[in-house]
Homo-oligomer: A and B are copies of this chain.
Amino acid sequence: MLITIAQEAPPSTRAAVLAAALKRGFPAHSMANGRGGEVIGIAGTLPIEHMELDGISRVLAIHKPFMMASLEARDRSVVMVGDVAIGGGSPVLMAGPCSIESIDDQIEIARAVRAAGANILRGGAFKPRSSPYSFQGLGLEGLKALAAAREATGLPVVTEVMEPEQVELVSEYADMLQIGSRNMANFPLLKRVGKTNVPVLLKRGFAATQEEFLMSAEYIMAGGNTSVVLCERGIRAFDAAFRFTLDLNVVPSIKELSHLPIIVDPSHGCGKRSLVARMAMAGLAAGADGLMLEVHVDPDRALSDGYQTITPAELGRIHRRGMALIEALDGFDKVDDLAPGFAAMSQLSSLDDVVLELERIA
């Protein structure tokens, strides 16, 4: 059940709703609804008298199973990572190496990707590797390298966390916690990051349905952490010529189902360096709120995933073209609407427009 409380509602209304849920043992969580009010998601059904409290502006008894993540719950979310806004305006560009290799290397690549247009730095300290005998990441030393690179460049940093016990440690260093594809259905891990207040980048499992993807987001949100950014990174299909198949259908589809931002990772999604740039453009054209790219100064010598890693120069070309593409499409979003079922406020319009639109609607 989704209950929306207007901005002007008396505090007693909110308290009464939460108390009624608590009394019945229903999990309940609240978040801003993006229009000044608040929405409370309750895993259960409250009796009718609670629906008639002062200031309750909407009640939805029937909704998607991913209640808090659904577009029915609130307006499009903007997730802040440091001072970078994801979702709602200019696309975000996360870039960096697959594995962090040393402090110096990480600072060098951070400077290079910043110069090429990136606004968030990535890098793996704890690496999920299919072989127990492969390099497993630098661990704590990697986290420190990431923090040093942030210090040197001002870029906020995102890095993967692989198990519940690591969450506290990684949260000390990272501005955003990444849940990898293989952990999308690692529910104890999702619950644990849901109890932090650090933004989460949730990668889609390579064989997860769209609904399972959103249910995993719901796990995080049900813990109280509503700063979730989704990431499509390729599904496993039947053609051995491709490591993975980037599934862009989910980008506009999830925009119809959820308020959460969604970005695209064409590095994993293609698994081949020469296809990355074109698929990055395709991802933005499909409506993604940004890109995540594996970048290395010398991709052929990267400690992992070199075959799908591009150079900073290629990142620069992607950034320039991506901006041109967004700008070219942006004008249209103000006069007509690309997808018939979309809300009038497109995910490609700028933050200022969103604000104006919100004022108009409110």
Contact = CB atoms under 8 A, between A and B. Distances in A.
Contacts of A191: 132
A359 interface: no
A185 B188 contact: no
Interface in A233-252: 235-242, 245-249, 251-252
Contacts of A285: 278, 281-282, 284-285, 325
Given A187-B129, A207-B207, A317-B338, A245 B241 contact: no
Interface in A192-237: 205-207, 209-212, 215, 218-219, 222-223, 235-237
B209 A188 contact: no
A282 B251 CA distance: 10
Contact of A241 (B211, B222, B276, B286): B211
A272 interface: yes
Contacts of A215: 130-132
A277 B339 contact: yes
Interface in A138-167: 162-166
Nearest to A324: B328
Contact of A275 (B239, B246, B252, B324): B252
A47 interface: no
B253 A245 contact: no
A21 interface: no
Contacts of A165: 164-165, 188
A293 to B, nearest CB: 13
A241 to B, nearest CB: 5
A273 to B, nearest CB: 7
Contact of A336 (B162, B182, B235, B317): B317
Contact of A238 (B130, B188, B209, B325): B209
Given A278-B339, A329-B321, A187 B286 contact: no
Interface string A23-47: 0000100000000000000010000
Interface string A256-294: 100000000000011011111111011111110000000
16 contacts: A128-B185, A132-B215, A186-B186, A210-B239, A237-B238, A237-B245, A238-B238, A246-B249, A249-B279, A251-B278, A252-B274, A274-B339, A277-B338, A314-B340, A317-B332, A325-B329
